[in-house]
Structure 1
Amino acid sequence: MKIAFISSVFGEPWAGSEELWYQSSLRCLERGDQVMASLFEMPCSCSQIENFQSHGGRVYWRKRFRNGRLHILKHRYLSAFRNVFNSKPDVVIISLGSLMDLTLYPDLLKELQETTARVILIFQFNSDCLIPDANARAMITSYCHRANHIIFVSEHNYLLAERQLAMKFNHVSVISNTVPYDKYEILAWPETNDTLEMACAARLVVQEKGHDILLESLAQPQWRSRDWRLNIFGSGCDEEYIRQLVNHFNLTDKAMFCGHVADSREIWKKNKIMVMASRAEGLSLASLEAMICGRVCVVTDVGGHNEVIADSQSGFLAEAPHPKYFGRALERAWSMKESLYDIGKSAHEAALRVFSEDSVSRIVSLIEKK
């Protein structure tokens, strides 16, 4: 079988949302399928793509673009996906951020309308703030009607998409992302000390991950006298702005920048709490990684977070991405800090339930389906 994976991830060389198609592609290669991937050119090497290629996968690189309008105009007439479809794939799996990603690829829609391949769409993200206009809705709806199956990573994202498009999906699944761990073992609880070590493990992109909300919440008077430290992990376009916010809120003695860590388990060997004030999510892979390690998440009630976290039982949910509400969730966590170990065990069990159904096997089953 010939299988083509197409990813719309653009900003970073690799993101957690890539794991689902990547792990599925490796499984297909193991079975002896011919597998190709259409990806944006990367600014630096990427170990996952090198591994994909070493196992026999073929990569078709697409040019990165700066001006979305010029890109759309150009590719109304010249397809960036011609080499993929010239290979006559039997199945095409398209891994996307949000619904709106599809509006950037009129050439891809044309290719899909002309191929007999089965089509699977994977949506990794959605937000109430994304409201497509009539033209965008028409284009996205055309994609969805062409798809043989549609996958969302959370039920919230799926139901929101139906509202955004005013349509019902006939062939749809909710399949979570997979964590890149060999074993789903709980980590030993960090050695006890008086300092509460918290980590924010996320791309340094404020618009999405809400570092500004988190820092303002921790700058409130009651936190000044408390013994805690915030370890900020990750890389991204807003690193300098986040550093400025740390200075602005006088948190330089509390917040540390720790860079990108390839294996997130190294983060959770030393930190007890994951704090992330996301403005929108699919189902945060970083949160699931923390939970599977037995760590407590304080996150916003966006995306699929409330599908895996029960407030004050297996984590803490802020009602909205706003300092007032995130501050309340932090207060609940602080007031229950003597119970964090037990809450972390509950978080591990909740994450295990998410991963009890092998996401990759479910994807491969959909690929095999006639």
Structure 2
Amino acid sequence: MSLSAAAPASEPADTLCFVIVSTCPDAWGGSEELWRGAALHLAQAGHAVHIFKTHVQATHPRIQELRAAGCTLTDLLAWPRPTVLARLSHRVLPARWWPQPLETEQLLSSALQQLQPHLTLFSQGGNLDGVALAQPCAQQGHPYALVVQKATEIFLVYDEGRQAMQQVYQAAQHCFFVSRHNLELTQCQLGQRLPRASVVSNPFNVPFAGELPAPPAEAGYQLACVARLDILDKGQDLLLHVLARPHWRERPLHITFFGSGPQRQGLVEMADFLEVSGQVSFAGQVADVPGIWRTHHALVLASRYEGLPLAMVEAMLCGRPTIAAPAGGIAELLIDDVTGFLAAAPTVDALDEALERAWARRADWPQLGAQAAHHARASVPPDPALDFGRQLLQLAHSLTSISQAISA
């Protein structure tokens, strides 16, 4: 089935019902912005949208926004009571590895039986974490789609769960990925082609047009690393090791780490141990993304695993070049020596080499940033969430038409 975001199908008078299931284990995560934007557009168009996620915080601005738009939200872990295994796992395992309690799957399966949605969307932070929740849909014939925000080479489902994962992906009406790399890697991990799959963009938090002027550089060059403080994926430790090399200690270069995460204190202490504390700072989570780029000259990322980092899209739209390793879909958007500098791999040596090339051309950063902005606007849509909502609506319409034709 071919999906087009540019031309939505004509809307029938009846209201369609959508269910969105988010596997994000946090109160809110960047992987949820795409489905959130689509949900708002669908609800505002008069369709019923029912959202199921873990750790629903009633006071969170995103949750309040969705409820104000008419969406219903159900916390998958609030009722029934999570199993003892799940409660213990919350204490000893990183959030990404929390098992979904059996009651969670039962609650969702029961809700789907009652709601009978025209389409259910499972939004996954990776490409494995929604399989258990989507399996009842695959087995019972409920129409559903998957969206994958990241795929990593080091994770491969165990053989005992392999058939279930293959079944869930093959039975999906459509599989959405945020980068071509993630799509191709998932197919390789499945050992199967996904004929009903496409690449979508995530929404961004900066204006689509109008890059920012470059800040002055008399006091030195400011790089921003905008990423969750979690080195397994984001690799901030690699940047600290690069800065610890003698030639970087002598240069007026500073890296500000923006973002929150479970390893902030570990990174602060690592910077102290490597004696680079004067070359870095930790600014925490910042809502004003354009404000970052008013005071920083370029983005630097050392990610080991990615989907397609929103931070890079935002930096490019603001007119800033990127220095990054080719994790996930980064190399699909970053053109080496044109819109930034691409390291050969997420290693200290490779990042050092790319940063050295960038430093040699620091006078050209404003020109590279302008090219980055032009390239980003040619590569991503102005309103990715609206496009995604239209694609979900088109898919639901197509499934409804097929069902009606079969019934007739």
Q: Please list, as runs of the form range in 1=range in 2, the aligned pairs for 1:200-215 lying within 5 A after superposition.
A: 200-215=225-240
Shift of 1:122: 0.4
SS state at 1:203 partner? coil
Contact kept? 2:127, 2:149, Cα under 8 Å: no
Percent identity over paired residues: 28
SS state at 1:99 partner? coil
C-alpha spacing 1:70/1:20, structure 2 compared with 1 (3 Å) = closer
Q: What TM-score does the superposition give when structure 1 sets the normalisation length? A: 0.93
The residue identity in structure 2 corresponding to 1:4 is V
Contact kept? 2:122, 2:134, Cα under 8 Å: no
Shift of 1:82: 2.8
Which consecutive unaligned segments of at least 5 residues does structure 2 have? Answer: 1-15, 91-96, 399-408
Q: Tell me if 1:230 matches 2:255.
A: yes
The residue identity in structure 2 corresponding to 1:8 is T
C-alpha spacing 1:82/1:41, structure 2 compared with 1 (3 Å) = farther
Q: Tell me if 1:86 matches 2:114.
A: yes
Distance 1:356 1:87 in 2: 33
**Aligned twin of 2:301:** 276
**Aligned twin of 2:6:** none
Contact kept? 2:205, 2:289, Cα under 8 Å: no
Contact kept? 2:206, 2:318, Cα under 8 Å: no
Q: Tell me if 1:23 matches 2:1.
A: no
Q: What TM-score does the superposition give when structure 2 sets the normalisation length? A: 0.85
Which consecutive unaligned segments of at least 5 residues does structure 1 have? Answer: none
Contact kept? 1:102, 1:140, Cα under 8 Å: no
Residue number among 348, 358, 370 corresponding to 2:373 in the alignment: 348
Distance 2:125 2:164 in 1: 16
| Runs of 4+ that moved beyond 6 A | none
Residue number among 8, 17, 33 corresponding to 1:2 in the alignment: 17
Shift of 1:188: 2.0
C-alpha spacing 1:350/1:124, structure 2 compared with 1 (3 Å) = same
Residue number among 71, 74, 91 corresponding to 2:102 in the alignment: 74
Contact kept? 1:175, 1:359, Cα under 8 Å: yes
Q: Tell me if 1:161 matches 2:186.
A: yes
Shift of 1:46: 2.1
User: Cα RMSD (Å) of the superposition?
Assistant: 2.1
**Aligned twin of 2:11:** none
Contact kept? 1:176, 1:354, Cα under 8 Å: no
**Aligned twin of 1:60:** 74
Paired residues, what number?
A: 366
SS state at 1:50 partner? helix
Distance 2:43 2:284 in 1: 33
The residue identity in structure 2 corresponding to 1:129 is I
Q: Please list, as runs of the form range in 1=range in 2, the aligned pairs for 1:290-305 lying within 5 A after superposition.
A: 290-305=315-330
The residue identity in structure 2 corresponding to 1:150 is C
**Aligned twin of 1:179:** 204
**Aligned twin of 1:287:** 312
Residue number among 102, 106, 109 corresponding to 2:130 in the alignment: 102
Deviations 1:40-79 (A, max 9, x none): 1146832122111111111011117453899456349733
Contact kept? 2:206, 2:289, Cα under 8 Å: no
